[in-house]
Every structure is written in structure tokens, then in C-alpha cells.
């Protein structure tokens, strides 16, 4: 379990709760609305989620935000019920402040501010990417991993160095999950795209030529996406073979930058997280690389790997216990808040 | 191939030392198979990177950049046998050099990067791990991701990799070192430097590289 330092600002101490703080966290960066409840002893009391499924096309930020606004009350109630606590038991409110889609972030932020103001509790803005890494560490017991975080909105390789999560490699254009989802949609595969491609790929086995683009430790997926769509439209290849090849190329690219970063940093653990972390083929790539370099592969369980409220609640606690809080007046969301801008004092 | 000693296990290749390759001390760079890649994709990547790297190293020499001499290239074995350059990796010496020497070193690195770009070569992994200081010279190594191009975009990516290496690994002197690098780079590249540097900054701002900006957006 992560080390927690009990440096509590005196005003937050309540009689009877000195040894345990409870945080409610709201996640709303994209299509998932999540509410999680975490305790400072490292237990997750609730992790409820409601997913916005677009009727057609990809995520439309305003429609997703509308879904979040309509659902936030229900999900909050469910989370409190699951945790078996009332609002009086909560000590602080955390929310995902960025990066993500503006309208979605604002909806979660509004709910969090309202709760904090109404209950008279401190508010903590959390970086979504930091939260993915922190819940990953908590859920897998990893101490100081190199993290490969792959989702619909993010693709990056990060490790802790000198007070921050440094980014060693990332996509130069679209996220790998975006590449997979968009191809799936173009090819008429069912939603969600990643699992559909994985399943279709099982019937393929012929490698078709697709662009493999790695620049140092950075990646580019937009050319791969275009080429895969063109291959599909040309009618020259079986869909199963395109899915197979798309996965092989995309995951080999991720494998290469991860391996480079692992060798560069010498980290003893390799953590895989994000929505794409559920992919069996990608897991086998990560396992193989970790083993090759004497590192421990760590896979974050699906409920904590996809966007979720528990990661926000947990990271909110870590921040708050290191003296970080966000006054409501300055709690603006930041749709482009980079992971490596965040100070991480709890990992001194 | 007796007496080969593994001296570095890189992400992409093993570097072996052959103390007596036809009478000289030589480095053997062998791109090993990657079990996690589809075999056909794996072979294609290793073969093309081997041929490519040899070609780019040759071009870099024509541009006057110190690079190892090539003794032999074996595409099917994904192996290059080359000169063993005695020296120290820049990555390992940066933090113990004095301020003046550090700046001189990075001005020289910038000059060489500028010459490389002017000659139409993109390094592809321009980091301090891939530079060896030997006496007064800095050898550029590992052109495995290099390519032939004069596109400002690709130059920008190269510069971006250098800059990000400085901010992720040599963060305590990042600004100072990049300033020295930029000075050398501008000197060697002449008027084309501006466009490449502009592109680097644009890449940083683009997509996933956007700095925190305008936090007071709309309704907050």
C-alpha cells in the first residue's frame, strides 16, 4: 500500500475520525461518470460508474456532459449506499480537474463544488492521469512502476522522477484507443470498438502492411488509422486480417516505446492501465517485455483501469494529506492539464 | 565470434564488444528478435533498421559528424560491426561537468545537430544517451531510428526529443543546456533553424503537448 503521511491541517480533524479520512471523488473527463469513495487507510468503499453510450459516432462532449448531469445524482446515491455511509461521514470532496473534454469536466466540477459548498467540506482538484497511476499502485501493490497508460484519450509512458510523474513517451497525435474505436466504427464493428477488434482479430492471422511509426520514445497512430481504413475500403483484405494487423502493429509500437523507457529508467515494475489495458494481446506484450528486463508486470483490474471515481477519491486523499486543496473560487477545470505539470509531494 | 562480451543491452539491440575483430577492437550491434512482435513484422523492422542505420551513419560522415567507422553490415543477421569509440556517454557526464564546460558541450552538440539537419539527416532519437564524448569530439551513435529528410516537422520532432530528454533527465539544467544547444544549432543551420525551432514549439503545443494555458476558459 502507498505510504500515507498523516500531516492533517488541524481544521479538518473531527472527533472520532482522526485516524481515517473519507473522500468522495467524482470522475467525468469523457464518457464515464464515476463516483468513488475511498478511505485514507487504503480501502475503496465504493466505485460506481455510469457510461454514456453515443447513439452514433464517437463521444460528443456536450451529449456526454448532458448524460453526466442527468446521472450524477443517481450515481452519488448508489455510491453512498454501496459504501454504507451518509454524507456526514465524508471529510472531503475530490474531482477530476483535467485533462479531458471541457463540457464533461465542467459537469463533474460543478457537482463537486456544489457538494463541497453544501456540506462545508474541503475540495481537491485531481489530475486524471496522476489518479490512474495512483489507483494502479494501490490496486496492484506496485511501489515505483513505469506506467503504460493507454485509453481512448491518452497514450503515454510515465515514471516517477524527482517529485513528478515524468513523461518518457507519448502519442504525437491521437490516442491508441481512439485509433481502435474509430477504425471499429468505420468497419461497422459493434461498440465498444477495442473488444470487437480483439475478437475479430482472433479469426485473422495474416499480417498486412500497415505503417509502424515510432519516433524515439514517441508514437503516432493517425497514419496507422488512415491506412487501416483504406485497407478496409479497398476490399482487398479480410476484416479479420486487418483487425489482426492493426492490433499487431499498434501493440508492437506501444511495446517498443515501453521497452525503451523501461531500459532508460530501469524501473522494477511495469504497470499497465487505462481502458485498452484489458486487451489480452497488449497484456502479453507487456508481460514479455517486463520479463525480458527483469521487471514485474502489474495489471490494473478493469474497474480501476478504466475511468473511475475511486481513483479520484484516492488521489484526492493523497493530495489533501500532503497539504493540497483547491479553493472553490479557483477550481477551474483545465482540459489540457499535463501529467508532468503536477507536483507529487506524497511520494517524496 | 569467440570472446564476444555483452557490454550493453539496449531496448532495441545488444551491443557486444569483440576485442579482436580481424585485429581491431570492434562493437557488434545486433538487433535481437522481439518475442512480443509478430515474426514477420519483427524481421522486417530489424532488417530495415539495420540497413538504414548503416546508410545514415555513412551520410552523417559526409556531413562531418563524428560517427563510428563501419566494418561490416549484415541485414539478415540484423547486425552491424563497427568501430569501438573510447569515451563517455554524455548522459552520464552532464551532471558532473562545470557550468562553462556543460555549456560548451551543448553548444557543440547543437552545432552537430544543425549540421546533421542541414545535410538532410534526422537522427530519430536525439538524446544524451546516444552521444559519446571522446576527447574534444562528440560522436553521435545509434541512428537506428534515423531518416533522410529535410522536413521542418521532422527536424522539429528531433529537437523536441532533445529538449524533452533535457527536461525529463537533466531537469536541473534543462533551460541552460537547451539555450546552449539552440545557439550551436542556429549557428550551424543558418536561417533554416528558425523554422525547425518554431516547429518544435508547435509540436509541444499541439495535441498532447499543450502546456497549461488559459485556465479561465468559459464557465470554468
Report, as an integer, the average pLDDT of A73-83: 98
Q: In B, which residues are within 8 Å of A256 by CB distance?
A: 11-12, 34
| Cβ-contact A300, A283 below 8 angstroms | no
Q: Identify the helix (H) or strand (E) that includes residue A128.
A: helix A128-140
Size of interface A-B (CB pairs under 8 A): 106
Q: In B, which residues are within 8 Å of A284 by CB distance?
A: 36
Report, as an integer, the average pLDDT of A166-185: 95
3 state DSSP class of A154: coil
A206-254 pLDDT, tens digit per residue, is 999 999 998 777 899 999 999 999 999 999 999 999 999 999 999 999 9
Whether A252 sits inside 8 A of B218 (CB atoms) is no
Q: In the numeric block, which cell numbers belong to residue B66? A: 563524428
B41 touches chain A (CB under 8 A): yes
* pLDDT value of residue B2: 62
3 state DSSP class of B192: helix
Q: In A, which residues are within 8 Å of B129 by CB distance?
A: 264
Residue B20's alpha-carbon distances to A27, A54, A60, B70, B184, in angstroms, are: 61, 65, 64, 15, 38
pLDDT bin (cut points 50, 70, 90) of residue B178 is: very high
B38 touches chain A (CB under 8 A): yes
* pLDDT value of residue B95: 87
Closest CA relative to residue B65, chosen from B25, B128, B111: B111
* pLDDT value of residue B12: 85
B100 lies in the same domain as B196: yes
pLDDT of residue B125 exceeding 90: no
Hey, what domains does chain A have and what are their CATH numbers?
Answer: 10-134+307-347 (3.30.420.40), 146-267 (3.30.420.40)
Torsion, Cα of A297, A300, A301, A306 (10° steps) = -140
Report, as an integer, the average pLDDT of B33-46: 95
End-to-end CA distance of chain B: 66
Q: Is B95 a known active-site residue?
A: no
Sign of the Cα torsion A331, A336, A339, A342 reads negative
A248-279 pLDDT, tens digit per residue, is 999 999 999 999 899 889 999 999 999 999 99
Closest CA relative to residue A4, chosen from A316, A315, A318: A318
B59 touches chain A (CB under 8 A): no
| Cβ-contact A165, A127 below 8 angstroms | no
Q: Provide the greatest CA pair distance for chain B.
A: 73
**Where among B83, B107, B134 does a domain terminate?**
B83
pLDDT above 70: percentage of residues in chain B: 92
Show the domain range for B171.
88-209
pLDDT bin (cut points 50, 70, 90) of residue B206 is: low
**Where among B67, B83, B99 does a domain terminate?**
B83
Report, as an integer, the average pLDDT of A40-52: 97
Closest CA relative to residue A239, chosen from A213, A211, A208: A208
pLDDT of residue A143 exceeding 90: yes
The answer for A 33-62 residues in CB contact with B (under 8 A) is none
Cα(B138)–Cα(B132) distance, rounded to whole angstroms? Answer: 5
Task: Specify the residue for cell string 502493429.
Answer: A249
Could you tell me where the beta strands, DSSP code E, fall in A60-202? 92-98, 123-127, 146-150, 155-161, 164-170
**Where among B83, B105, B138 does a domain terminate?**
B83
Q: In B, which residues are within 8 Å of A171 by CB distance?
A: 207-208
The answer for A 71-90 residues in CB contact with B (under 8 A) is none
A300-330 pLDDT, tens digit per residue, is 999 999 999 999 999 999 999 999 999 999 9
B47-84 pLDDT, tens digit per residue, is 988 998 999 999 999 999 999 999 999 999 999 999 99
Structural domain includes residue B197: yes
Average pLDDT across chain B, whole number: 89
Cα(A264)–Cα(A283) distance, rounded to whole angstroms? Answer: 21
Q: How many structural domains is chain B composed of?
A: 2
Q: Which of B124, B211, B212 sits opposite A215 (nearest CB)?
A: B124
Whether B220 sits inside 8 A of A170 (CB atoms) is no
Q: Provide the greatest CA pair distance for chain A.
A: 71
Q: In B, which residues are within 8 Å of A292 by CB distance?
A: 35
* Chain B contact probe: residue of A109, A209, A216 with most B CBs at under 10 A: A216
Structural domain includes residue B218: no
Residue A154's alpha-carbon distances to A52, A307, B23, B111, B208, in angstroms, are: 18, 11, 52, 35, 8
* pLDDT value of residue A159: 96
Amino acid at each position: 500500500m502507498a505510504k500515507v503521511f498523516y500531516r492533517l491541517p488541524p481544521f479538518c480533524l473531527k472527533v472520532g475520525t482522526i485516524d481515517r479520512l473519507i473522500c468522495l471523488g467524482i470522475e467525468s473527463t469523457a464518457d464515464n461518470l464515476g463516483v468513488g469513495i475511498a478511505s485514507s487507510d487504503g480501502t475503496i468503499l465504493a466505485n460506481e460508474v455510469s457510461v454514456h453510450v453515443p447513439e452514433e459516432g464517437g463521444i460528443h462532449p456536450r451529449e456526454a456532459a448532458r448524460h453526466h448531469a442527468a446521472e450524477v445524482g443517481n450515481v452519488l446515491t448508489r455510491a453512498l449506499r454501496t459504501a454504507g455511509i451518509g454524507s456526514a461521514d465524508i471529510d472531503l470532496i475530490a474531482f477530476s480537474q483535467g485533462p479531458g473534454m471541457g463540457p464533461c469536466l465542467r459537469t463533474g466540477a460543478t457537482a463537486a463544488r456544489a457538494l463541497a459548498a453544501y456540506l462545508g467540506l474541503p475540495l481537491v482538484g485531481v489530475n486524471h492521469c496522476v489518479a490512474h497511476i495512483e489507483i494502479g499502485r494501490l490496486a496492484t501493490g506496485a511501489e515505483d512502476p513505469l506506467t503504460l497508460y493507454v485509453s481512448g484519450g491518452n497514450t503515454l509512458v510515465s515514471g516517477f522522477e524527482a517529485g513528478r510523474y515524468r513523461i518518457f513517451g507519448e502519442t504525437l497525435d491521437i490516442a491508441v484507443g481512439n485509433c481502435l474505436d474509430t477504425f471499429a466504427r468505420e468497419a461497422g464493428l459493434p461498440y465498444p470498438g477495442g473488444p470487437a477488434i480483439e475478437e475479430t482479430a482472433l479469426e485473422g492471422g495474416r499480417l498486412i502492411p500497415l505503417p509502424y511509426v515510432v519516433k524515439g520514445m514517441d508514437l503516432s497512430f493517425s497514419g496507422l488509422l488512415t491506412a487501416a481504413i483504406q485497407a478496409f475500403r479497398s476490399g482487398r483484405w479480410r476484416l479479420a486480417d486487418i483487425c489482426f494487423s492493426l492490433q499487431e502493429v499498434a501493440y508492437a509500437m506501444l511495446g517498443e516505446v515501453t521497452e525503451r523507457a523501461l531500459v532508460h529508467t530501469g524501473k522494477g515494475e511495469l504497470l499497465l492501465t487505462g481502458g485498452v489495458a484489458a486487451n489480452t494481446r497488449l497484456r502479453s506484450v507487456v508481460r514479455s517485455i517486463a520479463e525480458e528486463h527483469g521487471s514485474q508486470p502489474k495489471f490494473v483490474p478493469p474497474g480501476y483501469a478504466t475511468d473511475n471515481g475511486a481513483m479520484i477519491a484516492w488521489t484526492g486523499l493523497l493530495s489533501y494529506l500532503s497539504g493540497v486543496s483547491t479553493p472553490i473560487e479557483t477550481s477551474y477545470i483545465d482540459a489540457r492539464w499535463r501529467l508532468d505539470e503536477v507536483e507529487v509531494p506524497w511520494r517524496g | 565470434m569467440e570472446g564476444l562480451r555483452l557490454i550493453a543491452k539496449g531496448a532495441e539491440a545488444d551491443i557486444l564488444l569483440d576485442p579482436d575483430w580481424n585485429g581491431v577492437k570492434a562493437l557488434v550491434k545486433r538487433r535481437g528478435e522481439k518475442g512480443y512482435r509478430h515474426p514477420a513484422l519483427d524481421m522486417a523492422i530489424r532488417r530495415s533498421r539495420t540497413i538504414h542505420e548503416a546508410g545514415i551513419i555513412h551520410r552523417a560522415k559526409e556531413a562531418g559528424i563524428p560517427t563510428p567507422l563501419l566494418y561490416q553490415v549484415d541485414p539478415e543477421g540484423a547486425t552491424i560491426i563497427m568501430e569501438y569509440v573510447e569515451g563517455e556517454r554524455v548522459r552520464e557526464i552532464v551532471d558532473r561537468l562545470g557550468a562553462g564546460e556543460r555549456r560548451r558541450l551543448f553548444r557543440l552538440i547543437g552545432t552537430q545537430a544543425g549540421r546533421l539537419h542541414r545535410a538532410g539527416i534526422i537522427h530519430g532519437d536525439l538524446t544524451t544517451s546516444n552521444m559519446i564524448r571522446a576527447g574534444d569530439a562528440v560522436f553521435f551513435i545509434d541512428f537506428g531510428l534515423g531518416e533522410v529528410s529535410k522536413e521542418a516537422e521532422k527536424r522539429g520532432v528531433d529537437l523536441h526529443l532533445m529538449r524533452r530528454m533535457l527536461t525529463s533527465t537533466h531537469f536541473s539544467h534543462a533551460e541552460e543546456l537547451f539555450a546552449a544547444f539552440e545557439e550551436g544549432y542556429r549557428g550551424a543551420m543558418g536561417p533554416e533553424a528558425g523554422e525547425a525551432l518554431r516547429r518544435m514549439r508547435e509540436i509541444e503545443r499541439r495535441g498532447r503537448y499543450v502546456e497549461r494555458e488559459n485556465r479561465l476558459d468559459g464557465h470554468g
